[in-house]
């Protein structure tokens, strides 16, 4: 057991962890941030995706201890924390049926957020490739892709 400080969605948390606790377990069990999902628990499905210093990582494959001194952003952290206004990608997912069961959705949104920061005007092919590590058991890939493209347009037009 050791005590560490994790910075999640801009807030510092004191947590007690074992060396082998994964980041996703600590987020869900210790911090109650259950937006991040555990699905395959092996790094293959992307449901556990969070942003680490703005870059997507598989939180089920990361030691919580390795997240010390870094900024973790979960799905709970991308809406405006004051006003509750949704991130444009979240808006598109709501408006254009980007979710069915919702398990893959947080991962899809966060991976897309990182994609659109690197590439604000992706092709459909680029979106599908960027999301190829996020699996959707409901098979909603077509709509998810449309949501990402729609949100890209929104973000560009708001700039």
Q: Shortest CA distance to 129 belongs to which of 113, 111, 110, 106?
A: 111
Q: Which of 9, 90, 105, 134 binds other proteins (CB under 8 A)?
A: 134
Angle, alpha carbons 109-111-117 (nearest 5°): 100
For position 123 contacting other proteins by CB under 8 A, the verdict is: no
Contacts with other proteins in 87-106 (CB under 8 A)?
A: none
29 or 85: whose CB is closer to other proteins? 29
Angle, alpha carbons 28-34-39 (nearest 5°): 85
For position 119 contacting other proteins by CB under 8 A, the verdict is: no
- Cβ neighbours around 23 below 10 Å, total: 28
For position 126 contacting other proteins by CB under 8 A, the verdict is: no
DSSP 90: H
For position 71 contacting other proteins by CB under 8 A, the verdict is: no
Contacts with other proteins in 31-50 (CB under 8 A)?
A: 41-44, 46, 49
């Amino acid at each position: 057991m050791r005590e560490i400080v994790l910075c999640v969605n801009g807030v510092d948390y004191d947590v007690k962890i074992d060396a082998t606790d994964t980041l996703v377990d600590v987020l869900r069990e210790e911090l109650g941030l259950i937006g991040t999902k555990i699905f395959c628990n092996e790094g293959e499905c992307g449901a556990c995706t969070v942003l680490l210093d703005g870059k997507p990582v598989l939180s089920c494959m990361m030691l919580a201890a390795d997240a010390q001194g870094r900024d973790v952003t979960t799905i709970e952290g991308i809406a405006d924390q004051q006003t509750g206004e949704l991130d444009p990608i979240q808006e598109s997912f709501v408006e254009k049926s980007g979710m069915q069961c919702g398990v893959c959705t947080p991962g899809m949104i966060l991976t897309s957020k990182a994609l659109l920061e690197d590439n604000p005007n992706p092709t459909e092919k680029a979106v599908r490739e960027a999301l190829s590590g996020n699996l959707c058991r409901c098979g909603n890939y077509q709509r998810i892709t449309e949501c990402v493209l729609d949100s890209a347009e929104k973000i560009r037009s708001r700039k």
